[in-house]
Amino acid sequence: MLTKRWTFICCVTVLLCVSASARASFDVLNVIAVPMENGDEGTVELRYVTYLMSYTSAWPGIEVQYTCSAAPVAIDRGAHRDSLEVEDENIAHKIGLTIEVVDRSDARTWNSPDSRPPGSRWGDLPDWPTHPFVDTLVVMLKTQAAYERAQAAKYEGVGVLDAVVQTTIDCIRDNASRSAIPIRNLKLVVEGPERYRRLSATMHITPRPNRGPLHSF
């Protein structure tokens, strides 16, 4: 059982580190909001997990990219601390929702009040963008495969998917708010059946911290 648990954890860690390039990379703990079923309560709710990520510079919206990724959660089935098991509890990942985020990791694509004209993308101006932000981040949420799977389910398949899609959108907005490079607007494009395409929207994002108190060593 321990081997199985550590294999799952290692696979998730490897997947989250693929963004490192030939340049020197650094590791950062990022908090990600993901949709989860709340036990036997019959609800889908926004919950948080922490991923260790490796990349080379600030990456606007990197948290959003992992909204539909595997989310390892310690599960206690024996009512004591030595009975913990690790399982993927991201229901969006388990039922087949996928997400695609337009890559804005290149600093030349960031907006700045000091670019020309002010507020435009930094482009080929010298130095590093000053007071950078991303005016609009485009995100695609793909629901078709999950919908087809839900239709084949015998019991409330589409009803459950409706709740998962709504909560996934809540998580996307939440994750966008914690980007190290502030995101001002998020353009969500939902692909799939009409019942979900109508949820496409442009959302205003209010940035908030991604970390708690920091104590250096």
Q: Mapping DSSP to helix (H, G, I), strand (E, B) and coil, where does residue 86 land?
A: strand
pLDDT per residue as tens digits for the range 24-82: 788 888 899 999 998 788 899 999 999 988 877 789 999 999 999 999 988 887 767 67
Q: Do residues 73 and 89 touch, judged by C-beta distance below 8 A?
A: yes
- Predicted confidence at residue 17, as pLDDT, reads 43
Whether the per-residue pLDDT at 211 is higher than 80: the answer is: no
Q: In a 10 Å sphere around its CB, with 0-12 CB exposed, 13-18 middle and 19+ buried, how is residue 195 labelled?
A: middle
Q: Give Cβ neighbours of residue 156 (< 8 Å, ≥ 6 apart).
A: none
Whether the per-residue pLDDT at 209 is higher than 80: the answer is: no
- Predicted confidence at residue 18, as pLDDT, reads 39
H or E segment to which residue 77 belongs = none
Structure tokens at 128: 């590093």
H helices of the chain, in order, are 2-16, 62-65, 91-95, 144-152, 157-177, 194-197
Structure tokens at 143: 């629901």
pLDDT per residue as tens digits for the range 132-189: 999 999 999 999 999 999 988 765 689 999 999 999 999 999 999 999 999 999 999 9
pTM, two decimal places: 0.84
Q: Do residues 134 and 61 touch, judged by C-beta distance below 8 A?
A: yes
